[in-house]
Structure 1
Amino acid sequence: MRRAWIFGLLTVLILTIVPPAFSQSKFTDIQNHWARSCIESLTQKSIIRGFPNNQFRPDDPVTRSQFAAMVVNAFPDQINSPTRNLVQFKDIAANYWAKDAIEKAYRSNFFSGFDDGTFRPELQIPRVQALTALANGLKLKPTIELSNKVFADLQDVPNYAKSAIAATTERQISVSFPNAQRLNPNRVASRGEIAAFLCQALPDTKGLISDRYLPKPELQAREIRGVWLTNIDSDVLFDKARLSNAVSELARLNFNTLYPTVLNWGYTLYPSQVMKQEIGFAVDPRPVAAGLQNRDMLKEMIAEAHQKDMAVIPWFEFGFMAPKESEIAQKHRDWWTQKRDGSVDYEPSALDGKQIPIWFNPLKPEVQQYILNLVSEVVENYDVDGIQFDDHFGLPVSFGYDDYTVNLYKQEHSGKAPPDNAQDAEWMRWRSNKLQAFLTQLFQTVKAKKNNVLISLSPLDLPYAYETFLVDWHKWEQAGLVEEVIPQIYFQGQKFVDRINPNTWETLRAARDHIPTAIGVLSGLSSTPRPIDELQRQVKAVRDQGYDGMSFFFYETLWNKSPEPTEIRKAGWQSLFKQKVQRTSVINR
């Protein structure tokens, strides 16, 4: 209790009586913060203050007493017009640092106490309580009724707060970063979030928050409705007319996102100067892909899709994997990584059971530059909405025993060699961290070229993705390196429903509450397409659990290869996607 009291005393010094020198807005820790403009404006008005070391600490939690002090500074008119009598809270001592602010905030109806006569000043305040306090103190009443079309997690709002949340949402006070459709009501509010709430509640500072973080009650729900288009068991990409018809039909059935493969079988499916320089072929030269010659499949798709308000996010399907006998693999045998026994072959089933894949070493600078060159080429030359990788961006856990990786590990471990056990926890984490470091480089490279191109990842689910490919996508998305994640949950029946339950799987819940998170659904393989009623049940389960949409693998089994007649199959999709909607995204085109 004593430590809490001392911290509170220090806080009030910062919040209320810090000399003008500390009210300046040149904070060193908000330069890239989404609420920077709000923080600086409110600081200049002495509504909020920073810390003496030129920090604002935007991610620090806010207590009830701290929020009371901010409210008193922000709304003097309401504070000076109290609406109820003073009460004595039994846990607020006469010398408590925020006693005066708490009393004023209570009398002005911004705050209430608890049934036991306490105020609980050191209790961290959830977002829903902060918004409710603003609605009560500012006497805001809603004229709308919220639905899950506005907030996908509306069911998490306590009944007592629904009117207040509707009112603050209607007046664009309910700021939600990074996803405007997720209120995250029960998450503790941060200093940056409180600054954004206050900013939007004050007429002089309203509008300093980007529209992308403000819910729009008047709009219909956003939802990712994606489909992967690949050249495995499909020729949809090999003919211009066939591709155009596919995009048109997907648009008619209200799909809104296309994930076309652009790197597969060791070749690119678009005319790549990077690949031409590497192997002499700008596009897949195989006879089966003859339809890609003398045209630009990716350019055609983007033009057609954007005309129909659909997003195109190229999928680098093979990532660090390549067929062993491909030109790129044979030219760069020094790029290969290997297992502890020196073998280099990955599982043949990863391709077609005939060709054997190898894995390029994702830790090697030359390999990293190769991937960066391909990604940069696509981002620079095409009007793409994002780029996507999957588990082939990782490293199979049994690999990493090539000379380069072993020597790098020794350099960072005082000459000690990697463990013989490929599943050794530290050895796994070290390799995964190296993958994250490269993803950081890739992220920064893309954003430097086009900031509105999002980074999407479609991994296997955790913990399998990490245990098998060292892809710790939960850690990556929490670090801000992934802006959309679509885990591949390819189960059927109740197992699918159980596996997407966010109350059971912490990683899915954390991702869902942080960034746009859709679920990858298997519409079937060519040999085993799934019935439409099963897919309809899975879509319902995805929506019921509050995810941001779904993407289907793959195009051919939507209706071309299905157990039902084509028209019945299409009617089934039409019943799922009755209206056209915009896709959920942290970046709006």
Structure 2
Amino acid sequence: MKKSGALIAAALLLASCASKPPSSLVTPLPKPHPAKPAQNQEPVRGVWLTTVSRLDWPPVTSVNGSSPAIRISQQQKALTDKLDNLKSLGINTVFFQVKPDGTALWSSRILPWSDMMTGNIGEYPGYDPLQFMLDEAHKRGMKVHAWFNPYRVSVNTKPGTVAELNRTLSLDPASVFVLHRDWIRTAGDRFVLDPGIPEVRDWITSIVAEVVSNYAIDGVQFDDYFYTESPGSALNDSQTYKKYGQGFASKADWRRHNTQQLISQVSHTIKQLKPDVEFGVSPAGVWRNRSFDAAGSDTRGAAAYDESFADTRQWVQQGLLDYIAPQLYWPFARDAARYDVLAKWWADVVKPTNTRLYIGLALYKVGVPAKNEPDWMVKGGVPELKKQLDLNESLPQIKGTILFREDYLNQPQTQEAVSYLRSRWGS
């Protein structure tokens, strides 16, 4: 970690760049500013491995009162077993959630250790989970992208969570919740950072820079959590807007500008530190619906541009991303957001650029009864899965597929689909 401080400071200084707010709701088509083209990359066959709430890893049982030695051994064996299984399925890239909230799964000078490992925020887990993942995945010839949730501080706002975050005040580093209380808001019944505060964006960029500087990761990924509100729990950023929103036609334009600033800053910082580390985003599958914007897709779904304040199409056009991985979590027969309509729309978006397109698939829906999407139940979901993978391979702009998420590979309802994946991708 020795050299990281100076590197990060230099990167942040160079990377902060202002851009003008958008002038209209219909995004103009700027000249592509291409990202670096990939050198003969094999198609990505990826999986998201989630650590928030221990959904995929580490095992919940490993945290329940075992001795540290037993806990470490259980966690490491669970991870190597997963990697062996992924390897046998032909998975070549793991998108590993290293920042599930305001805590870290690596040795950080900025964030406290994640309680996902030990049950206690700030407690050293006895090993470095990110380094262990990198060593074991690379040994198996698999790539690892460090997946960050940029703005989430906690998954709930319960009194117990508040007490636990407050207890970190004596730690070094303490939680951002106590160090920068003025940055914290509530949205979607969670504590989150306010994306409109410039220092918040600098802070997030420094976290990414720390990992890029100190670990041999293959990529960095942000998911779709930029502005995440729910009907009963909106983000109150009216004071921030009053302070920083001058010159914008609307709060929505200002919010999109804030998200754009973060993506731009992080992108430039990664490329200054290590140009070969890829930067990608996995947004909601619909950019905008055509009924709102002539450039949008023929869909009727929740749109990233309008609901998360993320102009994901513009990031591709400006060459800020090495790849984009939209979450196309619907079947061919879902009229409001057809898989094929969206896959082709995204293929057209990336066509004039060097941004690679990977598609996020809804493994979590396979084998689960759903009135609006019965195709996931037909023959164990295999025909739908096959159609989606066939389409991905038929469109030259689509360079890979990512499954959401790892633990669904181990569930009884997906086993026919898993056997199919093994026969299609496995060695």
TM-score (norm 2): 0.69
Is 1:577 paired with 2:425? yes
Contact in 1 for aligned 2:153/2:177 (Cα 8 Å): no
1:287-326 correspondence runs (5 A): 287=119, 293-316=125-148, 318-323=149-154, 324=157, 325=161
Is 1:225 paired with 2:22? no
1:491 corresponds in structure 2 to 330
Contact in 2 for aligned 1:283/1:292 (Cα 8 Å): no
Deviations 1:559-580 (A, max 9, x none): x113155xx554322222145x
Q: Please, which of 252, 259, 263 is the counterpart of residue 435 of structure 1?
A: 259
Secondary structure, aligned partner of 1:550: strand
1:359 corresponds in structure 2 to 192
Q: What displacement does 1:369 show?
A: 2.7
Q: What is the alpha-carbon distance in structure 2 between the residues aligned to residue 442 and residue 304 of structure 1?
A: 27
Q: What is the alpha-carbon distance in structure 1 between the residues aligned to residue 217 and residue 328 of structure 2?
A: 26
Deviations 1:327-357 (A, max 9, x none): 24641331034xxxxxx3x22xxxxxxxx31
1:120-131 correspondence runs (5 A): none
Cα 1:400–1:542 change in 2 (3 A) is: farther
Q: Please, which of 194, 208, 212 is the counterpart of residue 379 of structure 1?
A: 212
Cα 1:329–1:406 change in 2 (3 A) is: same
Q: Please, which of 348, 354, 362 is the counterpart of residue 509 of structure 1?
A: 348
1:545 corresponds in structure 2 to 395
Q: What is the alpha-carbon distance in structure 2 between the residues aligned to residue 177 and residue 319 of structure 1?
A: 22
Q: What displacement does 1:407 show?
A: 1.5
Percentage identity across aligned positions? 25
2:411 corresponds in structure 1 to 561
Q: What is the alpha-carbon distance in structure 1 between the residues aligned to residue 330 and residue 120 of structure 2?
A: 31
Q: What displacement does 1:490 show?
A: 0.8
Q: Which amino acid aligns with 1:225?
A: R
1:35 corresponds in structure 2 to none
Higher relative contact order (CA 8 A, sep 6+): 2
Q: What is the alpha-carbon distance in structure 2 between the residues aligned to residue 404 and residue 358 of structure 1?
A: 16
Contact in 1 for aligned 2:90/2:426 (Cα 8 Å): yes
Q: Which amino acid aligns with 1:234?
A: L
Q: Which amino acid aligns with 1:256?
A: N
Cα 1:179–1:377 change in 2 (3 A) is: closer
Structure 2 residue runs without a partner (length 5+): 1-30, 60-74, 166-174, 289-302, 370-375
Contact in 2 for aligned 1:236/1:246 (Cα 8 Å): no
Q: Which amino acid aligns with 1:251?
A: K
Contact in 1 for aligned 2:35/2:321 (Cα 8 Å): no
Contact in 2 for aligned 1:274/1:282 (Cα 8 Å): no
Q: What is the alpha-carbon distance in structure 1 between the residues aligned to residue 35 and residue 197 of structure 2?
A: 35
Deviations 1:361-408 (A, max 9, x none): 122133123212211111111100111002213465954634233121
1:88-107 correspondence runs (5 A): none
Q: What displacement does 1:540 show?
A: 1.8
Q: What is the alpha-carbon distance in structure 1 between the residues aligned to residue 85 and residue 56 of structure 2?
A: 16
1:330-349 correspondence runs (5 A): 330-331=177-178, 332-337=180-185, 344=186, 346-347=187-188
Secondary structure, aligned partner of 1:540: helix
2:85 corresponds in structure 1 to 249
Cα 1:433–1:265 change in 2 (3 A) is: closer
Contact in 2 for aligned 1:456/1:484 (Cα 8 Å): yes
Contact in 1 for aligned 2:97/2:146 (Cα 8 Å): yes
Cα 1:268–1:293 change in 2 (3 A) is: same
Contact in 1 for aligned 2:35/2:322 (Cα 8 Å): no
Contact in 2 for aligned 1:525/1:557 (Cα 8 Å): no
Contact in 2 for aligned 1:272/1:282 (Cα 8 Å): no
Q: What is the alpha-carbon distance in structure 1 between the residues aligned to residue 42 and residue 268 of structure 2?
A: 27
Q: What is the alpha-carbon distance in structure 2 between the residues aligned to residue 438 and residue 237 of structure 1?
A: 30
Rg larger in structure: 1
TM-score (norm 1): 0.51
Contact in 2 for aligned 1:228/1:554 (Cα 8 Å): yes
Cα 1:472–1:370 change in 2 (3 A) is: same
Q: What displacement does 1:544 show?
A: 2.7
Cα 1:532–1:243 change in 2 (3 A) is: farther
Contact in 1 for aligned 2:45/2:92 (Cα 8 Å): yes
1:363-442 correspondence runs (5 A): 363-394=196-227, 396=229, 399=235, 401-410=237-246, 412=247, 426-442=250-266
Q: What is the alpha-carbon distance in structure 2 between the residues aligned to residue 456 and residue 486 of structure 1?
A: 7
Deviations 1:61-101 (A, max 9, x none): xxxxxxxxxxxxxxxxxxxxxxxxxxxxxxxxxxxxxxxxx
Structure 1 residue runs without a partner (length 5+): 1-58, 61-175, 181-211, 216-220, 338-343, 348-355, 414-424, 580-589
Contact in 2 for aligned 1:269/1:283 (Cα 8 Å): no
More strand by share: 2
Q: What displacement does 1:319 show?
A: 1.6
Q: Which amino acid aligns with 1:249?
A: N
Contact in 1 for aligned 2:332/2:340 (Cα 8 Å): no
1:138-287 correspondence runs (5 A): 179=37, 212=39, 222-231=42-51, 232=53, 234-237=55-58, 239-276=75-112, 281=113, 284=116, 287=119
1:521 corresponds in structure 2 to 361
Secondary structure, aligned partner of 1:262: strand
Contact in 2 for aligned 1:542/1:549 (Cα 8 Å): yes
Q: What is the alpha-carbon distance in structure 1 between the residues aligned to residue 236 and residue 282 of structure 2?
A: 23
2:314 corresponds in structure 1 to 475
Q: What displacement does 1:283 show?
A: 5.8
